[in-house]
Structure 1
Amino acid sequence: MAHSINKLSTTQINKLARAGLHGDGGGLYLQITKGGVKSWLFRYMKNGQARGMGLGPLHTVSLAEARVSALAARKQLLDGIDPLDAKEQRRASTNAAAAKIKTFDECAEAYIEAHRSGWKNAKHGDQWVSTLDTYASPHFGSLAVSAIDTALIMKALEPIWREKTETASRVRGRIESVLDWATVRGHRTGENPARWKGHLDHLLPKRSKVQKVEHHAALPYADAPGFMSDLRKQDGISAKALELLILTATRTNEVLGARWGEFDLNEKIWTIPDDRMKAGKEHRVPLSKAALCILKMMKNHRQNDYVFAGQRENRPLSNMALLQLLKRMERGDLTAHGFRSTFRDWVGETTHYPREVAEAALAHLLKNKAEAAYARGDLFSKRAAMMQDWADYLGHGKRMVG
């Protein structure tokens, strides 16, 4: 009975070379292939059928370790558990758990793809990818999303919080959104370490305390007529686009992305759809005589559906076109967006038009609830008069009174 188990010795198993099964007792066997590869096998009967479960190769699993594994298997059989079935279930559970583990980068990619169609343009999705790749991924992109904690978030944000406050704030918000998504999808649990209120606001200074306010370079309104005179001497589509932008006090993307279907030249209205507006709300722009003149001129040279067609087929003029134009005019100190400030200063300092009329022209949402409730319409007729006065001022340099 003493020799029914533990029959083999370390010396024996090292010398054995004959292919086949060499029993140690208790169902444990040293298995040798024809090629001389040695491994451990536990054999047993289950419901009248012989079954075998590998316990690992000899070079990894020692004789003593194989005997421990065989003993554990025999105990499972006594408890009515099939050791091979139990091993396969453990492997399946491990694989399932591994499949559930997602890295931050994987979750970020999934989040972006899930929301991309709901964003206004492809550029927004590209910005998400770029900022997370630059500021989050180097710190924890390859880590399991469940392992991300406050220390890691701070490691990503602290170096840029003071110098790139606006960017850092956006990164924080995007990380928070990705982690919220991961929680809902079951990839992590607990509080979101990227949340601001009641958490990071105790660790980082408020944006208002450290952020440097950067304004778009704007032209003083007194110099606007002279600039417009110089602009009208420039050739090319970009000059016409910038002129329309100034006359309508609109944004670069709104002008360059303008399609002919948005214009009713007879009614003198340009209707910018909500999906092209920053505030996500449709905006009607009254067209002055000067603006209409530009549009009629462009229509005579229409190339595609865009008012200001670019060089690529069925694509608008590039965003860089206006900046390049300003550089050619030796006005690299200005930005196209800054002309909105020029217009706003002109309205506020030289006319009697109410503030809400000027804000409506700029498509700004009024923060004051009382003002917003009062100005329920878009004040179109008043804005039409104001924009004509603005065009007249730009053309003649005269001060207009609303």
Structure 2
Amino acid sequence: MGALEVSRITRRGMNFVGGVAGLGMNVNADGSRSWVLRARVGGIRRDMGLGGYPDVTLAQARDSARAARAQMKLGLDPIEEGKSLRSALIASRAAAITFTKAASLYIETHEASWKNAKHRQQWANTLDTYAKPEIGSLLVRDVELPQVLKVLEPIWKEKTETASRLRGRIESVLDWATARGYRSGPNPARWKGHLDKLLPAPGKIAKTDHHRALPYRQIGEFMARLRQAEGVGARALEFTILTAARSGEVRGARWSEFDLDGAL
């Protein structure tokens, strides 16, 4: 049967056209026509759709039918193979999120555990300012070492502390993305055994400005003045000096941790 004869098929149901065993044109109740390959796969009769007519020509339908028959000879089920490919495509699209989206989801997931809104703002600001222009629109699965270095190298020596924090934040976002199945493989932003071989250690290039220390000979005069000051802050500082406690422990202290009668 040729292309002209195929164009004249109107009988409802399956109309075999020859050229490839089992290839036919199926005419639906509404008059629409489509190509179907009828074959037995694993002892079961299967009808495999090959597309609608006239979008798919007779020649194209025969080529597709021959390819399907070739798969069957190899013991494959072309219908199931097609389902697997479609499923893989859907899964791939679902996993295709950008670095910016991944960063947003990471912050959304973890911000409840952060101490204050300022910390969240710092996270968002550094990523928006430095990472987003370079890798924000990339799929998170495509972020690799060259892209990470492109973000970090321009600011590594001039803004070392910011760059170091930014590296850690990129690493955290990529680790999260890996755990969620959005990417695979080693984290290109990890420091130990990786970026530490490519970038100088922050401590070796960052200038540290220490707070001025009070000369120890002036501590008596200072303590006398401190006791004159009112407020919780003054008492906390006095307590810190007298006990050599860490400032974070003092700021977070609770009354339940003190035994005033026992002076503990």
* TM-score bin (small chain): 0.5 to 0.7
Map Cα deviations across residues 232-265 of structure 1 (whole Å, 9 max, x no partner).
3xxxxxxx22112220236665444322211111
Contact 1:128 1:174 in 2 (8 A): no
Determine the structure 2 residue equivalent to 1:188: 184
Once residues 62 and 93 of structure 1 are traced to their aligned partners in structure 2, the CA distance between those partners, rounded to angstroms, is 28
1:254-308 deviation line (CA, Å, top 9, x unaligned): 4443222111111223xxxxxxxxxxxxxxxxxxxxxxxxxxxxxxxxxxxxxxx
Matched, 1:265 2:256: no
In the other structure, the counterpart of 2:236 is 245
Secondary structure at the aligned position of 1:123 is classed as: coil
The alignment status of 1:140 with 2:135, answered yes or no, reads yes
Q: Is the 8 A contact 1:8 1:24 kept in 2?
A: no
Question: Which of 107, 115, 139 is 1:123 aligned to?
Answer: 115
CA distance in 1, matches of 2:12, 2:222: 96
Residue type at the aligned position of 2:63: V
Distance 1:84 1:251, change over 3 A: same
Structure with more relative contact order (C-alpha pairs < 8 Å, separation 6 or more): 1
The corresponding residue for 2:150 is: 155
Match of 1:228 among 226, 236, 239: 226
- CA positional deviation for 1:207: 2.1
Q: Cα offset for 1:197?
A: 5.1
Cα offset, 1:152, TM superposition: 0.8
Following superposition of structure 1 onto structure 2, how do residues 34-183 of structure 1 map, counting pairs within 5 Å? 34-35=29-30, 37-46=32-41, 50-58=45-53, 61-95=56-90, 106=102, 122-123=114-115, 126=120, 130=124, 133-134=127-128, 135-136=130-131, 139-140=134-135, 143-177=138-172, 179=174
| Deviation for aligned residue 1:142 | 5.7
With over 3 angstroms needed to count, the CA separation of the structure-2 counterparts of 1:24 and 1:140, relative to structure 1, is farther
3-state SS, counterpart of residue 71 of structure 2 = helix
What is the alpha-carbon distance in structure 1 between the residues aligned to residue 42 and residue 27 of structure 2? Answer: 27
Give the whole-Å Cα distance in 2 for the aligned partners of 1:59 and 1:107. 47
Indicate how the Cα distance of structure 1 residues 217 and 163 shifts in structure 2: closer, same or farther if over 3 A, else same: farther
Please report the RMSD computed on the Cα atoms of aligned residues, expressed in angstroms.
4.5
Q: CA 1:48–1:155 in 2, change beyond 3 Å: closer, same or farther?
A: closer
Gaps of 5+ in 2: none
User: CA offsets per residue over residues 63-97 of structure 1, 9 Å max, x none?
Assistant: 43322211111223334433223323443455556
Does the CA-based 8 Å contact 1:241-1:255 persist in structure 2?
Answer: no
Structure 2 letter corresponding to 1:165? T
How many residue pairs get aligned? The number is 250
Which deviates the most, 61-70 or 240-249?
Answer: 61-70
Q: Is the 8 A contact 1:31 1:41 kept in 2?
A: yes
User: Residue 140 of structure 1: CA displacement?
Assistant: 3.4
Amino acid of the structure 2 residue aligned with 1:122: W
Paired position in structure 2 for 1:24: 17
The percent of aligned pairs where both chains have the same amino acid is: 41
Q: CA deviation at 1:112?
A: 9.3
Q: Deviations over 1:210-235 (max 9, x none)?
A: 42424458778858468637743xxx
3-state SS of the aligned residue for 2:262?
coil
**Given the superposition, is the C-alpha separation of residues 224 and 88 from structure 1 closer, same or farther in structure 2, using an over 3 Å criterion?**
same
Amino acid in structure 2 at the alignment position of 1:196 = W
Q: Quick one: distance in 2 between partners of 1:225 and 1:48?
A: 95
TM-score, normalised via structure 2 length: 0.66
- In the TM superposition, what is the alpha-carbon distance from 1:153 to its structure 2 partner? 0.2
TM-score, with length taken from structure 1: 0.47
**Inter-partner Cα distance in structure 2 for 1:199 and 1:59:** 57
Instruction: Please give the per-residue CA displacement for 1:116-156, whole angstroms capped at 9, x wherever unaligned.
Output: 69x9x522884795367434455435644442211110122
